[in-house]
Amino acid sequence: MIVYKAMRTRACAQKRSITMAKNYFINTYGCQMNVHESEKIAGILLNKGYTACEAEGDADIVVFNTCCIRDTAEKRALGNIGVIKALKKQKPSLVVAVVGCMPQQEGVAAAIREKYPYVDIVLGTRNIAMLADEIDKVLLSRQNIKKRSDKKYRCFDNSLPENYLEIDENTPSLRTSYPNAWVNIIYGCNNFCSYCIVPYVRGREVSRDINSVLDEVKRCVDGGYREITLLGQNVNSYGNDLEDGTSFARLLHEIDRIEGKFRVRFMTSHPKDLTEAVMDEMAASSKICSNLHLPMQAGSDKVLRDMNRRYDRQRYLYLIDSLRSRMPDIGITTDIMVGFPTETEQDFEDTLDIVERVRFSNAFTFIYSPRKGTPAAKMEQIPYAIKQERISRLITLQNRITKEISDTYTGGIYEVLCEDVAPKHSGCVCGRTESGRLVTFEGCEQDIGKFFNVKITKSRSASLFGQKEGETL
Ligand code: 5AD
Ligand code: SF4
């Protein structure tokens, strides 16, 4: 609570006192990794004397932190980069930066340069820390209008800078998701699932030093954060590239020993790398939530093989059983993709079948989107209408299961961390159970960051409603 208030007060004070100050506006697309990277971008901009503003129209710099996991994500970002042209015309001093995954794809930085010439800065995923210098270069070049070729500065580097981790450790961050704090533990991905662009745009796995991670977690807990979410494309690979034998299980063990009342979640786990040791740590720990996001992608062995996932349905079901035998109340969520090039009707029915068997608390469902440069994009594609029909069947099934699971919560009392005011229910707040279920209950802003026992009175699809029984300390 203290941290939340302090952050808000500081932002307001800044707005009041520095009327001539420059403003920034960040558009974030994509996953939690990008949300956290936008916190780093905000930290860099604050350090440079910029202040957050509520509307793009008030900004002196607009940053697009992009995603390219699916075509829709890319189109959304490109559409908004197109729209900013009008603002730039009105306000030529505006600096426009496009950063993150999208420009890191082969040829895309050049395409942005060509199609959106008013974009001043383009940075890939591993050189966001250069933003401050790039802004200086742009501003300097504008003073020197004779040298037209120097007018635009762009920076794009596919290779991993040698001192990347060192630079990253020293990049400031403005946390915006109190009471949760995102903490990166590993960057990049080595898995090369055949449909996925991530390994191409985020490079190979690089784990942070365990002591740096532990220090950051301690600082967050001391600063009042009540939930720590460890981030990585594949957190289970944490430590594989370190020479000191550190593993993800050890990291969890060490984090659990940190004093204070707080929760730990992590994402994303790859089923092929989820070890017995990690499951044991989860079960034994008082701080690591009984909650796991375990992307399944498909329920057909053939499709899983073609996706290069390196597990089969039997192994996936084994993991689910192992988790539930250790933690009977665990909430398990997943990602599922339909319409992979080799998916037949029978393969899709195998997916429906495994969804029935596992009974996920929730599933994020996606239509396969071909990504240029990945092996699956070169395969013969299946018609979009079939993909749409499959996803709607899958969603109908999962909605039924989600609702059935929600119903089992009614009447029970669960500890909930209050995370925010409820956006759609006035006089109410919302937060999650340890298992990850969203609960709405009566409360006010002062409740944010506190733990409460909440009696569940009603359920509606994925949402639960309840009454506060009292604060838990
Ligand atoms: N098309 C559709 N969904 C994708 N995902 C990854 N790549 C693609 C793609 N090309 C999904 C996967 C992953 C989630 C983050 O996004 O399900 O787990
Ligand atoms: Fe993409 Fe697979 Fe890596 Fe996840 S594990 S980021 S799906 S390549």
Q: Which stretch of 144-153, 215-224, 343-352, 370-379 has the lowest confidence by average pLDDT?
A: 144-153
Ligand 2 and 68: CB distance under 6 A: no
Ligand 2 and 267: CB distance under 6 A: no
Ligand 1 and 233: CB distance under 6 A: no
Ligand 2 and 234: CB distance under 6 A: yes
pLDDT of amino acid 431: 98
16 pLDDT more than 70: no
Q: For 131-168, what is each residue's pLDDT tens digit? A: 999 999 999 888 876 554 444 555 655 566 667 788 88
Q: For 169-215, what is each residue's pLDDT tens digit? A: 888 899 999 999 999 999 999 999 999 999 999 989 999 999 999 99
End-to-end Cα distance, the chain: 14
Using most ligand atoms within 8 A of CB, pick from 67, 69, 198 the residue to mutate for ligand 1.
69
User: Which residue is it, tokens 């071909």?
Assistant: 370
pLDDT of amino acid 41: 97
Q: For 240-254, what is each residue's pLDDT tens digit? A: 999 999 999 999 999
pLDDT of amino acid 20: 54
User: Within 13 Å, how many C-alpha atoms sit on residue 456's CB side?
Assistant: 23
110 pLDDT more than 90: no
Ligand 1 and 340: CB distance under 6 A: no
Question: What is d(CA 292, CA 269) in angstroms, rounded to the nearest whole number?
Answer: 8
Q: In Å, how far are 270, 278, 287, 433 from 252, measured between CA atoms?
A: 16, 8, 9, 20
18 CB-near residues (< 8 Å, 6+ apart): 51
Minimal CA–CA distance to 169: which of 125, 124, 228, 209?
209
pLDDT of amino acid 447: 98
Band of pLDDT at residue 127, cut at 50, 70 and 90: confident
Which ligand is in closest contact with the Cα of 307? Answer: 2
Question: What is d(CA 60, CA 204) in angstroms, rounded to the nearest whole number?
Answer: 35
How are beta strands 121-123 and 95-100 bridged, if at all?
A: parallel
- Average of per-residue pLDDT across 4-31: 59
Ligand 1 and 316: CB distance under 6 A: no
Ligand 1 and 437: CB distance under 6 A: no
pLDDT of amino acid 82: 96
**Residue at 332: amino acid letter:** I
Written as six digits, the tokens of 401 are 């299961």
pLDDT of amino acid 155: 60
pLDDT of amino acid 426: 94
**Residue at 74: amino acid letter:** E
How are beta strands 22-28 and 331-338 bridged, if at all?
A: unpaired
Give the Å distance between the CA of 376 and the centre of ligand 2. 13
182 CB-near residues (< 8 Å, 6+ apart): 32, 35, 36, 39, 175, 229, 231
Question: What is d(CA 146, CA 136) in angstroms, rounded to the nearest whole number?
Answer: 17
Question: What is d(CA 274, CA 234) in angstroms, rounded to the nearest whole number?
Answer: 10
pLDDT of amino acid 164: 79
Residue 233 is given by DSSP the state T
Give the Å distance between the CA of 69 and the centre of ligand 1. 6
Taking the CA atoms of 451, 277, 245 and 129 in sequence, report the sign of the dihedral they define. Answer: negative
Q: Whose CA is nearest to atom 4 of ligand 2?
A: 233
Across the strands, what pairs with 230?
A: 183, 266
Question: To the nearest whole percent, how much of the chain has pLDDT over 90?
Answer: 84
pLDDT of amino acid 165: 84
- Average of per-residue pLDDT across 449-472: 96
Minimal CA–CA distance to 291: which of 416, 423, 179, 464?
416
- Average of per-residue pLDDT across 349-377: 98
324 CB-near residues (< 8 Å, 6+ apart): 330
Question: What is d(CA 12, CA 459) in angstroms, rounded to the nearest whole number?
Answer: 38
Closest ligand 2 atom number to CA of residue 202: 6
317 pLDDT more than 80: yes
Q: For 61-74, what is each residue's pLDDT tens digit? A: 999 999 999 999 99
Ligand 1 and 398: CB distance under 6 A: no
Give the Å distance between the CA of 370 and the centre of ligand 2. 14
Asked if 101 and 69 touch (Cβ cutoff 8 Å), the reply is yes
Dump the DSSP string for 27-59. EE-SSHHHHHHHHHHHHHHHHTTEEE-SSGGG-
Q: Whose CA is nearest to atom 2 of ligand 2?
A: 193
Residue 184 is given by DSSP the state E
Question: What is d(CA 168, CA 33) in angstroms, rounded to the nearest whole number?
Answer: 14
Band of pLDDT at residue 10, cut at 50, 70 and 90: very low
Mean confidence (pLDDT) of the chain: 92
429 pLDDT more than 90: yes
Band of pLDDT at residue 17, cut at 50, 70 and 90: very low
Using most ligand atoms within 8 A of CB, pick from 270, 273, 310, 334 the residue to mutate for ligand 2.
270
Which ligand is in closest contact with the Cα of 364? Answer: 1
Taking the CA atoms of 59, 61, 66 and 71 in sequence, report the sign of the dihedral they define. Answer: positive
5 pLDDT more than 80: no
Using most ligand atoms within 8 A of CB, pick from 31, 33, 70, 234 the residue to mutate for ligand 1.
70
Which ligand is in closest contact with the Cα of 194? Answer: 2
Q: Model pTM?
A: 0.93
93 pLDDT more than 90: yes
11 pLDDT more than 50: no
pLDDT of amino acid 45: 97
Q: Whose CA is nearest to atom 1 of ligand 2?
A: 196
Tell me phi and psi for residue 234, to 5 degrees.
-145, 90
270 pLDDT more than 60: yes
Strand order in the sheet with 331-338: 291-293, 331-338, 362-367
Give the H or E element holding residue 111.
helix 108-115
109 pLDDT more than 80: yes
Burial of 264 (0-12, 13-18, 19+ CB in 10 A): buried
Using most ligand atoms within 8 A of CB, pick from 125, 186, 198 the residue to mutate for ligand 2.
198
Closest ligand 2 atom number to CA of residue 234: 5
Residues in the chain: 473
Q: Whose CA is nearest to atom 14 of ligand 1?
A: 335
Q: Residues 184, 188, 191, CA angle at the centre, nearest 5°?
A: 130
Give the Å distance between the CA of 365 and the centre of ligand 1. 9
Ligand 2 and 196: CB distance under 6 A: yes
Q: Which stretch of 18-32, 269-283, 315-329 has the lowest confidence by average pLDDT?
A: 18-32
C-alpha dihedral over 146, 147, 153, 157, to 10 degrees?
A: 180
Question: What is d(CA 177, CA 60) in angstroms, rounded to the nearest whole number?
Answer: 24
Minimal CA–CA distance to 437: which of 411, 422, 417?
417
Using most ligand atoms within 8 A of CB, pick from 337, 338, 381, 398 the residue to mutate for ligand 1.
337
